[in-house]
Amino acid sequence: QSALTQPPSVSGSPGQSVTISCTGTSSDVGSYNRVSWYQQPPGTAPKLIIYEVSNRPSGVPDRFSGSKSGITASLTISGLQAEDEADYYCKSFTTGSTSYVFGTGTKVTVL
Amino acid sequence: EVRLVESGGGLVQPGGSLRLSCVVSDFTFSSHWMTWVRQAAGKGLEWVANIKGDGSEKYSADSVKGRFTISRDNAKNSLYLQMNSLRVEDTGVYYCATNGLPWAFDIWGQGTMVTVSS
């Protein structure tokens, strides 16, 4: 099972919006609305920010939003803030011999 | 507040074994799937294994199949990962996580470091 494909890095100025793509296959992202996103600042454990494509857990700002089209899921951060600087990973449920597959990760830099 | 505390990491030679533990507090432990995820230094996240609330279903990544075994003790609110035949490429931080939201890992522990080296 290959990792989902994400861009290595994206950047934006404070207040701007950035979008991170997550491309899979028809066996994972394309087949299920079981995509989630995780934020991982340096040296810390990951934190769930989006589940089931577009749902936010309690306490996650509405600046974070998710969507999906075909085999590609996306995470958008609106009104970028300095505290958003972190690595972001998508994850999808998948068929086959494994249960889940993560994306390759994207480093978000706030300029 | 839900809290997960991992332990059991350390330095082990290739071919050796380790048993990781994860104690979960303030959570309806027996009702939920639980997961192990690992991360090599400077690398991305890798799903390792998960187990259903009653322990009746278990799944693991191809990279660890036949070597790692996930288990749980609901009476102790504890999750385990028995790791045998360890390889250098198994080195990394191992996190346990709850599956309290649909198809998502909502609460994570702080991680425990496993180093496989001669």
**B77 class by beta-carbon count within 10 Å (0-12 exposed, 13-18 middle, 19+ buried):** middle
Q: Which pLDDT tens digit goes with each residue over A78-92?
A: 999 999 999 999 999
Residue A44: how many CB atoms within 10 A of its CB? 13
Q: Which pLDDT tens digit goes with each residue over A2-32?
A: 899 999 999 999 999 999 999 999 999 999 8
**A3 class by beta-carbon count within 10 Å (0-12 exposed, 13-18 middle, 19+ buried):** middle
* pLDDT of the residue at B105: 95
Which residues in chain A have their CB less than 8 angstroms from residue B46's CB? 102
Query: Is the Cβ pair A48, B111 closer than 8 Å?
Result: no
User: Mean pLDDT, chain A, as a whole number?
Assistant: 95
Query: Is the Cβ pair B50, A100 closer than 8 Å?
Result: yes
Q: Which pLDDT tens digit goes with each residue over B75-96?
A: 999 999 999 999 999 999 999 9
What mean pLDDT comes out for the span B27-49?
Answer: 95
* pLDDT of the residue at A1: 74
* pLDDT of the residue at A97: 67
- Put simply, whether A97 touches B (Cβ < 8 Å) is yes
Question: Residues B47, A98, A90, CA angle at the centre, nearest 5°?
Answer: 45
Q: How far does the CA of residue A96 sit from the closest CA of chain B (Å)?
A: 10
Tell me which residue in B46, B59, B101 faces A57 most closely, judged by beta carbons. B101
- Put simply, whether A68 touches B (Cβ < 8 Å) is no
- In DSSP notation, A6-75 reads --SEEEE-TT--EEEEEE--TTTTTT-S-EEEEEE-TTS--EEEEBTTTB--TT--TTEEEEEETTEEEE
Q: How many CB pairs lie under 8 A apart between chains A and B?
A: 71
